[in-house]
Amino acid sequence: MILLHILWFACATLVFGLNIPIPLSSPPSAPLISQSLISFSIEQDRWTDWVGATTRNQFFFNVLVNLNQLTGAPPRIRIGADSEDHTNFNQAVQTTQTVFRAITATVPYPEALNITVGDAFYNAAQFLPPNTRVTWGLNLGQNNLTAAFLEAKSIIKAFSSPAIRNSGIVLDAIEIGNEADLYLSNGARPRTYSIPQYVKEWTAFATSTSSAIGISSSSSTKFWGIAFAGSSHSTSGFSPQSVINQGLLSSTAGSAIATVSQHHYSGSFCSGSKGLLQDLMTKSTIRGNLSAFSPDITAVRAKGLDYVFGETNSYACHGAPGVSNTAGAALWTLDYLLFATQIGISRVFFHEGIGYKYNLIQPVTLTRSTLDGSPLPSPLPPHVQPQYYGAVIAAEAIGTSGSTHAIELVINNAQVAGYAFYEGTRLVRAVFINSSAFLKSSANRTHVHLDFEFTGTGAVAPTVISVKRLAIGHADDTSGLTWGGESYETSDGRVSGSLAVEIDCVSAGVDIAATEVVSVSFS
Ligand SMILES: *[C@@H]1O[C@H](CO)[C@@H](O)[C@H](O)[C@H]1NC(C)=O
Ligand SMILES: *[C@@H]1O[C@H](CO)[C@@H](O)[C@H](O)[C@H]1NC(C)=O
Ligand SMILES: *[C@@H]1O[C@H](CO)[C@@H](O)[C@H](O)[C@H]1NC(C)=O
Ligand SMILES: *[C@@H]1O[C@H](CO)[C@@H](O)[C@H](O)[C@H]1NC(C)=O
Ligand SMILES: *[C@@H]1O[C@H](CO)[C@@H](O)[C@H](O)[C@H]1NC(C)=O
């Protein structure tokens, strides 16, 4: 059922508000937005819990398909991360064998210290939505070439099987090692570990893998390169610039790198200090966190390579309680995704692990708290967390055209970000985010009126707007959001409720409240 709130204000500007100039046609500088901008990185120790071990995990499938339906392409999936470097292969293993680190209040759902997989582990990719493109990580951390080789062989066997091929699921890339820039501090290598050693090891592993499974500069499966936790943003220390300078791309295997992957978190909860929700949401800190990578992106793109955030989320070590798991984080997700497109990041892979605080998706029933590990009074079935709404709104803004371009609008306000979306060159939508945190402890909620002023010529100015709102009680709520009146907090992960759209004259503008997202479709 569609519920239309039709507010027939006279078509004249009644309220004086913030004036938002919007170009009528897409400026030449507007980047093309990938239909799979919103992608996911999955901690591989519990991969078969995500996707399903012997039958499909229907909840995970549904929440991926929701995004697929909105953009016309499924999210891409990278499987790997910390446990990638603790995985060995054993042909005899039917069910993944895992040894987990100790459970603590800071990290209630730790990564596995040791994981042993067999063919079934990789075959489970058949349960992903049709046409999903997958990147899989190999173990470099333990420096065991045999382990990496056997994993690669099993991966290629899985992706050649009818179950995966017939579903159009493809192996996009292989990643070799997770965050090798941390090996010198996490014990995987001596303290003296350096870029030349890394380039030498990567090249040896990639050469062996490419001969095992046929990766080359002309194959459809390529390598993801680098996947570092941080970057010096310069040619000294660990960075894309450094490894490129030191010849990573020069070998035959290196010539099969098509994408550079960077990892990033805005802060860390590793030692239990959580930070403020408002800091995460703030427009300037989002821009600060992303723009720091601009020199890297320039260097990578100059080599003709794609650049992605292959693993990212709010706060490292699975998120901060009361910050990463809240409605405010949904606004962070949306602004982070959209601003990333403006500086040359093609895709953003949100990192997810079973029970992590910063998940968009909790795909299995949980029995202990994600916040402190305490036993839950009753089991918590699969569900989406607030950040998922940020992904849905971005997906809807991108749409299914395959030719969507977007620009950030110039808004002279420290708390409001806005983006305009064009299909081809035609203005179709805009999204506005007020990232001022309205908390349970806040006194009152203020609204500001936005007026639209179309700029440029060559296209007929729209006259009607359809408005959807992300309704949030408080920035520190952890559930109960609705997007255009509808909820994704359902037992099967599919949308439910009555769609609420406000239709009005363009000249009426819109109101936006603190901690709110408003999307405007123009016609
Ligand atoms: C990891 O697990 C495998 C299989 O359970 C076992 O054979 C191996 O010894 C373990 N390795 C370590 C380092 O614990
Ligand atoms: C390396 O991996 C292979 C293959 O699983 C295994 O047989 C071997 O024990 C591993 N070597 C070490 C030193 O762990
Ligand atoms: C990144 O974001 C965090 C808040 O999440 C903030 O504390 C930090 O200052 C930001 N970093 C930059 C470089 O802007
Ligand atoms: C909101 O609260 C502040 C103080 O908490 C007060 O000064 C202000 O008048 C209030 N605004 C409205 C519109 O009620
Ligand atoms: C965003 O919300 C804050 C807090 O209510 C308010 O001060 C600010 O003016 C708002 N900005 C806009 C443009 O809506």
Q: Which atom of ligand 3 is nearest to the CA of 332?
A: 5
- Residues 330, 437: one domain? no
What's the gap in Å between 286 CA and the centre of ligand 3? 7
- Residues 338, 367: one domain? yes
Q: Is the CB of 444 under 6 A from ligand 4?
A: yes
What's the gap in Å between 277 CA and the centre of ligand 3? 11
- Residues 345, 272: one domain? yes
Ligand 1 pocket mutation pick from 91, 93, 94, 114 by most atoms within 8 angstroms of CB: 114
Query: Of 398, 420, 450, which closes a domain?
Result: 398
- Residues 322, 471: one domain? no
Residue-wise pLDDT tens digits, 455-510: 998 789 999 999 999 999 999 999 999 999 999 999 999 999 999 999 999 999 99
- Residues 372, 449: one domain? no
- Residues 333, 458: one domain? no
Query: Of 398, 427, 457, which closes a domain?
Result: 398
CATH number of domain containing 57: 3.20.20.80
Here the tokens at position 341 are 């497109």
Pocket of ligand 1 (CB under 6 A): 97, 114, 116
Calculate the CA 273 to chain-centre distance.
24
Say what percent of the chain tops pLDDT 90.
94
Q: What would the DSSP string read from start to end of 380-407? A: E-SEE-THHHHHHHHHHHH-S-S-EEEE
Cβ-based neighbour number of residue 521 at 10 Å: 19
Domain boundaries, position 20: 2-29+403-522
Give the position of tokens 């579903």: 167
- Residues 321, 366: one domain? yes
Strand partners, 465: 504, 522
Ligand nearest to the CA of 141: 2
Residue-wise pLDDT tens digits, 100-113: 999 999 999 999 99
Backbone angles phi, psi at 447, to 5 degrees: -120, 150
Nearest to 229 by CA among 192, 181, 268, 275: 181
Residue 273 has pLDDT above 90, yes or no: no
- Residues 188, 252: one domain? yes
CATH number of domain containing 409: 2.60.40.1180
The residue whose C-alpha atom lies closest to atom 12 belonging to ligand 4 is 444
Q: Which atom of ligand 4 is nearest to the CA of 444?
A: 1
pLDDT of residue 140: 98
Query: Of 398, 432, 449, which closes a domain?
Result: 398
Ligand nearest to the CA of 276: 3
Backbone angles phi, psi at 491, to 5 degrees: -70, -25
Mention every residue, 6+ apart, whose C-beta is less than 8 A from residue 207.
Answer: 251, 252, 253
- Residues 98, 10: one domain? no
- Residues 370, 488: one domain? no
Residue-wise pLDDT tens digits, 296-326: 999 999 999 999 999 999 999 999 999 999 9
Number of structural domains, the chain? 2
The residue whose C-alpha atom lies closest to atom 5 belonging to ligand 4 is 443
- Residues 110, 246: one domain? yes
Q: Is the CB of 448 under 6 A from ligand 5?
A: yes
The pTM of the full predicted model, rounded to 2 decimals, is 0.96
What's the gap in Å between 97 CA and the centre of ligand 1? 9
The residue whose C-alpha atom lies closest to atom 11 belonging to ligand 4 is 444
337 touches 38 (CB < 8 A): yes
Residue 63 has pLDDT above 70, yes or no: yes
Ligand 4 pocket mutation pick from 444, 446, 448, 511 by most atoms within 8 angstroms of CB: 444
The residue whose C-alpha atom lies closest to atom 9 belonging to ligand 5 is 448
- Residues 57, 204: one domain? yes
